[in-house]
Structure 1
């Protein structure tokens, strides 16, 4: 392919004797990646049921290569059950290297379409809170779907310029991920159209935007917290120079080392003004050295220069750990719920704290603890949408179905993946299930494939009325 002359000159300077090897990788096929959603299934259990051959991605514990020329994982019921996410292998790296712990408050600043956010949500294991933001409202809608499909319920999805979030979340988050908009040089091999986009808006354009985003995000991180900055480009103006800018503007930040891999290339401080040797702790991924596209990653920690003592990682924190899925901390008096909602919740085999339930325009949400007031923020979803109240009845929603585990609901229709009713259910068809239920059974049933939820249906006379979300249906 024809590469811009300015780009070739820069890459020759960056790679020197390796430049020709880099060019040769443009003749090689792209790599397809699948990341197991450990929020729903362990990597070991998924490998037992995986429908196709998989090969481990060596630097991602739950990542695998698959043959994208011969299999279509997005056209399999396990995809609709949220058991995995399809993601370019190198793009899995940022979320894997941000050490998120259960109970933390986490922000993904530029989150759409959700590849990194879904992994951050899995790491939280239903606790704490994930705020996933994207300035584009249309992209944020796709982000919402992917997070709901993954079973993430402790979330807030916003669609704002990062600076507008700052007044609501000062020194709030334990961990922040910034996968910054960039010139996309690392994707040239995968998507040739990125070359034209680079010629229209190159590194200078994006570096100004990145400087704004990274300093705004830094103010939302609590002292002791960690920030991971990544791009899918090679240019030092968007990479090392952005980290240098952040550390000059916010001297409380220090660069951290991260779990390595033999193909990782250290950062290049010689391409910065200060030539700080600490920048060697940052990482580049080149497609001629690893089976993935190009990326840059930097992990930083925010010290408390005013009051932190050595070895005290939690000094000055304003976020909070220990927020449980059952929500038993910091609750007020029990709320009186509509009878139809109370009756449905009685069929759940998981703890729901009524103090965290919120009803807005007949929709029922289960809110994360620690949620600030949202007045003035444009958001698409706050909390887990449980369902809707409709004329003396409660209809459970798709997001709740994806959040639940099979054992957490009393009425289950569990279909084998070979059963043709699985695809028919995903297409929105009514199902006859007399072989699965007794003659008198009725009410809401959670439909599963091999034990993993797909959605709800309403049962009467051994016939299941399909309630699978229309916008998610299987398209032939």
Structure 2
């Protein structure tokens, strides 16, 4: 980021007219031209915050807590030039997610005093930062539907869910506007982190304002109004939804929320976020929304609204053409045999929150709570691929290890740092003075990084080709 970053005059004029009087437009502009602090969120599906801090204590990392997320930290590193944050061993093992601090706020708002997490929708989820944050709160219980409109981003979303150990998610690929009519009142809680003009992202994206115009934000706001209505229709009465954007103008923020209120009246309640965290009052609007200008918390600009649904609302009936669902649920006795084989082979015990389904020779693990939605909407992917059947049993999959293993299994083999680097480069490993047979879970510093198979005195690498890396890897 350089001080001559392009900020349109029309945008500055717009902000001048809406920014609270206690904030300075000069400080706003200055902050927009300052690089954004890096931040991470500990993935509690795999490791506790306390254990994570102990694990990285030997690194030259300075971690400062994010006030609105008890698993979030701003990070400063001495080794930034030698190893990218994404190529650290902890990141590749899924122990943390690289996530901008402000973007942790919407999920915190959704989860606050909210126990209704049996079936949750993240309506615009890629690349997965907020989806994995929700998944941490759910602890792989219930069902989490992660929707993404852009086909090119589905693969990245799935990879991040897999790396972080999420196995209760179902992926869909729709315009979010379909949920209100295809799945009316189906979800206990909904996050709509809406597509927006991205004005708040200028500190991390030099081109954030390249295509900005007053006309473009009006067009985007029209899309957002359709999305928020659909989300509200898909929400169960009594449920909570959060509407958020990483933009700053009121057309895409307050006005979209007021449109929802005008549409559905008393069924809509705005719940104040003034007590969400210490200091939240600094960004609070009259309606109880959080409108975060970047200079307030030295963060990305963001908007967050929490909305409660108090009554059912009308939805237009839709004619569905679903096609045949290609999976069949396994009967209880067969499911038990598969679970027993997994335990015998890899010392992994399946949870009671999942069901086993088959597609040809593929064995899949679906979240049990997703069953009512099967046949109602079309899924791109559900749960995880557990195994492939073959003549001699089952070929267990990498994603099963990354989502189900803990690293404490009896078949786990600990790798040294040089061996772990070889593993991530897609190479076979030869542990010193060791040999075995069958499949083996490979770990680095106590956490699983994949599955291999003994061939004499070497472990054949089972890392999927798309995950192989060959440069700029961690030192320890």
Normalised to the residue count of structure 2, the TM-score between the two structures is 0.85
Q: Deviations over 1:317-344 (max 9, x none)?
A: xxxxxxxxxxxxxx99524369788533
1:379 aligns with 2:396: no
Q: Deviations over 1:178-228 (max 9, x none)?
A: 000001111123212111132397310110000000110111111111001
> Structure 1 stretch 29-38 or stretch 198-207: which is displaced more?
198-207
Q: In structure 1, how many angstroms separate the alpha carbons of the residues matched to 2:352 and 2:216?
A: 50
Pairing of 1:393-432 with structure 2 (within 5 A): 393-406=393-406, 409-416=409-416, 419-432=417-430
Aligned residue pair count: 437
Question: What corresponds to 1:83 in structure 2?
Answer: 95
Cα drift, residue 414 of structure 1: 1.9
> Structure 1 stretch 54-63 or stretch 209-218: which is displaced more?
54-63
Pairing of 1:432-443 with structure 2 (within 5 A): 432-435=430-433, 437=434, 439=435, 441-443=436-438
Pairing of 1:38-53 with structure 2 (within 5 A): 38-50=44-56, 51=59, 52-53=61-62
Change (3 A) 1:353 1:97: closer
Q: In structure 1, how many angstroms separate the alpha carbons of the residues matched to 2:441 and 2:38?
A: 32
Q: Is the contact between residue 402 and residue 448 of structure 2 (CA under 8 Å) also seen in structure 1?
A: yes
Normalised to the residue count of structure 1, the TM-score between the two structures is 0.85
Q: Deviations over 1:74-114 (max 9, x none)?
A: 11111111000001111111112211548521110000000
Cα RMSD for the two superposed structures: 2.5
Question: What corresponds to 2:440 in structure 1?
Answer: 445
Instruction: State the SS of the aligned residue for 1:41.
Output: coil
Q: Show structure 1 runs of 5+ residues with no match.
A: 269-276, 307-330
Q: Is the contact between residue 151 and residue 173 of structure 2 (CA under 8 Å) also seen in structure 1?
A: yes
Change (3 A) 1:424 1:131: same
Q: In structure 2, how many angstroms separate the alpha carbons of the residues matched to 1:220 and 1:432?
A: 53
Q: Is the contact between residue 443 and residue 450 of structure 2 (CA under 8 Å) also seen in structure 1?
A: yes
Q: In structure 1, how many angstroms separate the alpha carbons of the residues matched to 2:340 and 2:209?
A: 56
Q: Deviations over 1:384-422 (max 9, x none)?
A: 211222344421112111112326743101234xx2001
- Which residue, 92, 95, 112 being the options, matches 2:107? 95
- Which residue, 263, 281, 301 being the options, matches 1:294? 301
Pairing of 1:239-388 with structure 2 (within 5 A): 239-251=253-265, 252-258=267-273, 259-262=276-279, 265-268=282-285, 277=286, 279=287, 281-304=288-311, 334-336=332-334, 343-347=341-345, 348-352=347-351, 356-371=355-370, 372-375=372-375, 377-388=377-388
Q: Is the contact between residue 102 and residue 125 of structure 1 (CA under 8 Å) also seen in structure 2?
A: no
Question: What corresponds to 1:326 in structure 2?
Answer: none
Q: Deviations over 1:231-264 (max 9, x none)?
A: 0111111111111111121221211123134265
Change (3 A) 1:19 1:200: closer
Q: In structure 2, how many angstroms separate the alpha carbons of the residues matched to 1:342 and 1:168?
A: 38
Q: In structure 1, how many angstroms separate the alpha carbons of the residues matched to 2:148 and 2:409?
A: 33
Q: In structure 2, how many angstroms separate the alpha carbons of the residues matched to 1:70 and 1:145?
A: 26
Cα drift, residue 352 of structure 1: 4.9
Cα drift, residue 229 of structure 1: 0.5
Cα drift, residue 294 of structure 1: 0.1
Q: In structure 2, how many angstroms separate the alpha carbons of the residues matched to 1:355 and 1:67?
A: 39
Change (3 A) 1:69 1:197: farther
Change (3 A) 1:194 1:29: closer
Question: What corresponds to 1:457 in structure 2?
Answer: 452
Q: In structure 1, how many angstroms separate the alpha carbons of the residues matched to 2:214 and 2:310?
A: 39
Q: In structure 1, how many angstroms separate the alpha carbons of the residues matched to 2:34 and 2:92?
A: 31
Instruction: State the SS of the aligned residue for 2:197.
Output: coil
> Structure 1 stretch 16-25 or stretch 133-142: which is displaced more?
16-25
Cα drift, residue 67 of structure 1: 2.6
Q: In structure 2, how many angstroms separate the alpha carbons of the residues matched to 1:257 and 1:341?
A: 46
Instruction: State the SS of the aligned residue for 2:14.
Output: helix
Q: Deviations over 1:9-65 (max 9, x none)?
A: 111112356111111213423211111001111111101111322222222211111
Cα drift, residue 300 of structure 1: 1.1
Cα drift, residue 160 of structure 1: 0.7
Q: In structure 1, how many angstroms separate the alpha carbons of the residues matched to 2:408 and 2:362?
A: 21
1:185 aligns with 2:183: no
Pairing of 1:49-64 with structure 2 (within 5 A): 49-50=55-56, 51=59, 52-64=61-73
Q: Show structure 2 runs of 5+ residues with no match.
A: 314-328, 472-476
Q: In structure 2, how many angstroms separate the alpha carbons of the residues matched to 1:233 and 1:197?
A: 14
Q: In structure 2, how many angstroms separate the alpha carbons of the residues matched to 1:222 and 1:241?
A: 23
> Structure 1 stretch 362-371 or stretch 112-121: which is displaced more?
362-371
Q: Is the contact between residue 142 and residue 353 of structure 2 (CA under 8 Å) also seen in structure 1?
A: no
Cα drift, residue 351 of structure 1: 3.3
Instruction: State the SS of the aligned residue for 2:225.
Output: helix
Cα drift, residue 349 of structure 1: 3.6
